[in-house]
């Protein structure tokens, strides 16, 4: 079993640290170039960093790490200020996935898959791993992580400022209301909201009270 699979990775070697530093520097060189020129430059300069990179629209001010563990499909949009990482993990964004500004997708030490035609609202956090907390004699931040996975199927709409916790599956066509905290699986075509998220409606029926915040692209 690999260290990542066991849930706690050892310190990176010199080559890994150098590669990560070079990746960070290369990303920083183009991260804030404005206008359509910046969009074109980022795609041209960054696409070789990834395991796969289709026709991606990279917004300004992105934080990216572990790009070699990411597969990005065609027409993927990463909004300004997004934080997207997959160090010691795997991230798959299928075609036509839209992350609104300031979305945090952390596949570090885990796996995240987001299906085609899915929209994620601004400020949402999607993280595939949790901190270990069992030991009281070691600071939590030193105990490593418990790996997990998150599967978001196609045509899902996630509103603003949601939290998606590890080891959940959000079914095809589901809607997650703004501010929801998803801690368990969501069935296809259901509408969920609240903390923790619970079913508040079904697609094709009357809209739930309060509605759902529209994701911003």
Closest of 75, 47, 81 to residue 62, by C-alpha: 81
pTM metric for this prediction: 0.85
Q: What is the pLDDT along the chain (217 residues), one digit of tens a residue?
A: 333 444 444 456 787 778 788 898 999 999 999 999 999 999 999 999 999 999 999 999 999 999 999 999 999 999 999 999 999 999 999 999 999 999 999 999 999 999 999 999 999 999 999 999 999 999 999 998 899 999 999 999 999 999 999 999 999 999 999 999 999 999 999 999 999 999 999 998 655 555 454 444 4
Q: Which two tokens stand for residue 147?
A: 């790996």
Q: What is d(CA 189, CA 166) in angstroms, rounded to the nearest whole number?
A: 21
Query: What crossing angle do the helices spanning 35-46 and 14-30 adopt, rounded to 10°?
Result: 160
Q: HSE-up of 130 (CA within 13 Å, CB side)?
A: 13
Ordered by start, the domain boundaries in the chain are: 35-200
ω into residue 196 within 30 of 0, thus cis?
yes
Give pLDDT, residue 206: 55
131 flagged as catalytic: yes
Q: What is d(CA 49, CA 97) in angstroms, rounded to the nearest whole number?
A: 19
Choose the catalytic residue: 131, 145, 214, 217. 131
How is domain 35-200 classified at the CATH fold level? UDP N-Acetylglucosamine Acyltransferase; domain 1 (2.160.10)
Give pLDDT, residue 208: 53
């Amino acid at each position: 079993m690999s260290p990542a699979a066991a849930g706690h990775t050892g310190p990176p070697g010199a080559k890994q640290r150098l590669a990560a530093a070079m990746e960070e520097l290369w990303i920083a060189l183009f991260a804030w170039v404005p206008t359509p020129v910046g969009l074109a430059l980022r795609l041209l300069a960054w696409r070789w960093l990834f395991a796969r990179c289709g026709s991606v629209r990279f917004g300004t001010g992105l934080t990216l790490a572990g790009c070699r563990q990411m597969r990005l499909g065609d027409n993927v949009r990463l909004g300004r200020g997004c934080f997207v990482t997959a160090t010691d993990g795997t991230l798959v964004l299928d075609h036509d996935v839209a992350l609104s500004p300031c979305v945090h997708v952390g596949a570090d030490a885990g796996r995240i898959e987001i299906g085609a035609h899915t929209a994620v609202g601004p400020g949402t956090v999607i993280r595939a791993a949790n901190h270990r907390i069992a030991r009281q004699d070691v600071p939590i931040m030193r105990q490593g992580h418990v790996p997990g996975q998150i599967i978001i199927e196609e045509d899902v709409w996630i509103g603003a400022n949601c939290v998606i916790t590890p080891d959940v599956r959000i079914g095809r066509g589901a809607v997650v209301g703004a501010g929801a905290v998803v801690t368990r699986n969501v069935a296809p075509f259901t509408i969920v909201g609240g903390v923790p998220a619970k079913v508040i409606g079904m697609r094709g029926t009357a809209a739930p009270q309060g509605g759902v915040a529209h994701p911003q692209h």
